[in-house]
């Protein structure tokens, strides 16, 4: 089975499991897990922030960040397809009392030009704009990315208006690689940033939220409130450290495989895709010109050995990752071609 549904389907390798099994641990709620502390410090250093905080999931990392940044009744500027808005069960409204102002980003990517007019004036009738939330790479945008310049312009606008910037960097290493820059440069334009280890980096769980020491001090309390205080969790942090040591450089392979898949799909009759838009490990394509909608396409293709995720009425998503080889991509293309010939 060639599983292209998501980069979250990767399974820990034997070597990663070994690192987990031998991790030094302690009670992390008491701040005594040496492996967690090592990961937090290392991520803070890599991202150029004062402190880091280990989180069980990307969703909790985002929601703790929002809770730390805003008060009930505040407004958050966000792209309308951002994970935080689209896929997190309205958590920002429920947990933090935030209101979203959703903007139509270009494949999910916002600009200072777009954000500027959305910032609320001082007016007792309107909610104050307190946070700009960005996503890099952008999942529903098809793995699209921010450049450092774009982020710098947004950051300048935010500073001028006294607004904080949060970056959902679940796939920030992919974003930096594609933008030919460092995660530190990208993170330098934000007040808080989180990176996930359970996606292309191949760990079973874990995200790290980074920001100023003061921000993280407050965030620890909210993590506890939401039930994210874990105990001997160095076992998971060890997997994340292993991923940092072994799985960051190889993301390049995933990007090349995604490009290869996109180019191959572009040559298959009935499929619409512009391979130019594929810059990281996410591939979105359209099947409106086939006899099937996206749900039917995915359902009927699965028994042939390729798993995809429907991403809209006629849009499907394929994601490359470390459990998929270049030969798997070629085979998947062959299977899809044969499948469509019979459709
Ligand atoms: C961009 C982005 N942010 C956040 C998340 C949430 O991560 P988790 O599934 O660990 O909660 C995801 C998950 O796919 C994601 O794609």
pLDDT band at 124 (very low <50, low <70, confident <90, very high): very high
Q: How many A from CA of 337 to the centre of ligand 1? A: 31
Closest by Cα among 244, 238, 242 to 22:
238
Q: How many A from CA of 343 to the centre of ligand 1? A: 34
The mean per-residue pLDDT over the stretch 189-217 comes to 98
Pocket residues for ligand 1 (CB within 6 Å)? 8, 57-59, 62, 83, 135, 139, 168, 170, 196, 198
Task: For ligand 1, pick from 137, 171, 196, 317 the residue to mutate: most ligand atoms within 8 Å of CB.
Answer: 196
pTM score over 0.85? yes
Q: What is the overall mean pLDDT for the chain?
A: 98
pLDDT at 292 exceeding the cut of 90: yes
Dihedral-angle region of residue 143 (phi above 0 means left; psi in -120 to 50 means alpha; beta otherwise): left
pLDDT for residue 343: 87
Closest by Cα among 87, 179, 66, 200 to 140:
87
- By the 8 A CB rule, do 210 and 185 touch? no
Q: How many A from CA of 328 to the centre of ligand 1? A: 25
Cα separations (Å) of 205 from 38, 65, 70, 85, 186? 17, 18, 27, 22, 23
Q: How many A from CA of 108 to the centre of ligand 1? A: 15
The mean per-residue pLDDT over the stretch 202-211 comes to 98
Structure tokens at 310: 């429907």
Residues 227-246 pLDDT 10s: 999 999 999 999 999 999 99
Q: Which residue has a Cα nearest atom 5 of ligand 1?
A: 58
Residues 48-100 pLDDT 10s: 999 999 999 999 999 999 999 999 999 999 999 999 999 999 999 999 999 99
Residues 297-309 pLDDT 10s: 999 999 999 999 9
pLDDT at 326 exceeding the cut of 90: yes
Structure tokens at 253: 């392979």
**Which atom from ligand 1 is nearest to the alpha carbon of 168?**
3
pLDDT for residue 239: 98
Closest by Cα among 229, 234, 237 to 198:
237
State the alpha helices, DSSP H only, in the chain: 14-21, 34-47, 58-69, 83-86, 91-96, 112-115, 148-161, 172-178, 183-187, 213-225, 234-246, 251-266, 294-301, 326-342
Strands 282-286 and 75-79: unpaired
pLDDT for residue 187: 98
- Vertex 40 angle, CA 150 and 74, to 5°: 50
Strands 207-211 and 282-286: unpaired
pLDDT band at 41 (very low <50, low <70, confident <90, very high): very high
pLDDT band at 336 (very low <50, low <70, confident <90, very high): very high
pLDDT for residue 246: 98
């Amino acid at each position: 089975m060639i599983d292209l549904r998501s980069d979250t389907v990767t399974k820990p390798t034997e070597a990663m499991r070994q690192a987990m099994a031998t991790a030094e641990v302690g009670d992390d709620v008491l701040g005594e897990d040496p492996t967690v502390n090592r990961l937090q410090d290392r991520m803070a250093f890599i991202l150029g922030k004062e402190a880091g905080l280990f989180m069980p999931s990307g969703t909790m990392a985002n929601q703790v960040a929002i809770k730390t940044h805003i008060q009930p009744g505040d407004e958050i500027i966000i792209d309308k397809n951002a994970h935080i808005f689209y896929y997190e069960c309205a958590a920002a409204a429920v947990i933090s009392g935030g209101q979203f102002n959703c903007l139509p980003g270009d494949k999910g990517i916002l600009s200072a030009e777009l954000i500027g007019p959305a910032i609320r004036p001082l007016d007792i009738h309107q909610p104050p704009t307190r946070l700009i939330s960005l996503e890099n790479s952008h999942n529903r945008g098809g793995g699209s990315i921010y450049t450092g310049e774009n982020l710098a312009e947004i950051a300048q606008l935010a500073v001028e208006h006294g607004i904080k910037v949060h970056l959902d960097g679940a796939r920030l290493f992919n974003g930096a690689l594609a933008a030919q820059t460092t995660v530190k440069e990208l993170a330098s334009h934000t007040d808080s940033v989180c990176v996930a280890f359970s996606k292309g980096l191949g760990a079973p769980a874990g995200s790290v939220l980074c920001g100023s020491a003061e921000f993280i001090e407050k965030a620890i309390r909210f993590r506890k409130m939401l039930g994210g205080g874990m105990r001997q969790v160095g076992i998971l942090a060890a997997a994340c450290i292993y991923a940092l040591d072994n799985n960051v450089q190889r993301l390049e392979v995933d990007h090349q495989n995604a490009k290869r898949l996109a180019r191959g799909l572009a040559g298959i009759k009935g499929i619409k895709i512009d391979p130019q838009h594929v810059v990281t490990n996410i591939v979105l394509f359209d099947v409106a010109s086939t006899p099937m909608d996206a749900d039917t396409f995915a359902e009927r293709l699965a028994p042939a050995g390729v798993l995809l995720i429907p991403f809209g009425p006629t849009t499907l998503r394929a994601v490359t990752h470390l459990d998929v080889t270049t030969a798997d991509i070629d085979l998947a293309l062959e299977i899809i071609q044969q499948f469509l010939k019979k459709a």
